[in-house]
Structures are given as structure tokens and as C-alpha cells.
Structure 1
Amino acid sequence: MNSWIFLFLAAILSGFALIEVPLAGTFLASLAPFTTVVGVLTVLVFSLVLIYKGVRYLFNK
């Protein structure tokens, strides 16, 4: 199994963490929309990469 897959899964989990991080009431509250957008983009990009690699693997066999 390719070890990069676990890195992609870790990136997806970190994207979910960025989406759910509670910044209200801290000095970072102004960054909340930015962290949400970065989190959503991270989850989307790495999920699409995993889907692409999975489909490529299926059709190469």
C-alpha cells in the first residue's frame, strides 16, 4: 500500500480540524472565516486526490 495515502488522510483530518476549531472569544477570531475556507479547500482537494488515485488503481489492474 502506498504510504502517501496515510498522509492524504491526515491532511483531510487536519482540514476537518480547521473547520471545527473554536476561535470565538480569542484574539484569532478575525481569522475564523479564513481557517474555515482553508479547511474546506483542504478536505475537498485531498478527498479528490484520494478518489482519483483509487479510480486509477482500479483501472490499472
Structure 2
Amino acid sequence: MNYSIFLFLAAILSGFALIQVPIAGTFLASLAPFTTVVGLLTVLIFSLVIIYKGFRHLFNK
């Protein structure tokens, strides 16, 4: 079993958590745009990696 796929899924979930984290009203409020951008990039990059691995697996058999 390919456990890296589960690692990529965990990274996608972490990206969604960074997007949705409520940091308004805390001392980290100034980092809100940064966490949103990092979360979006994480979700996008690891989703594309999973799609690429799926296509590669599909066409190699």
C-alpha cells in the first residue's frame, strides 16, 4: 500500500485547517492573510500531486 497518499491527504486536511483557523482577535491576527495563502497553496499543491500520481498509476498499468 502506498502510504505517501495518506500523507498527502493529511497535508490537504492541514491546509484546510489553516484556511479555517479562527485567529481574529488574538495576537496572531496579523498573520491571517499569511495562513490563508499558505493553506491555499498547500491544498492546491498536494491535490495536484495526488491527481498526478493517480494519472501515472492509471496509465502505467
Q: TM-score when scaled to structure 1?
A: 0.99
Q: 2:9 is aligned with what amino acid?
A: L
Q: Distance in 1 between matches of 2:2 and 2:15?
A: 21
**Uncovered stretches (5+) of structure 2, i.e. residues with no partner:** none
Corresponding position: 1:33 with 2:33: yes
The CA RMSD measured in Å over matched residues stands at 0.4
Report the identity percentage: 85
Cα deviation, residue 42, structure 1: 0.1
C-alpha separation in 2, matches of 1:28 and 1:52: 35
Say how many residue pairs are matched.
61
Q: Write the letter of the residue equivalent to 2:58.
A: L
Give unpaired runs (5+ residues) of structure 1: none
1:40-59 matches, cutoff 5 A: 40-59=40-59
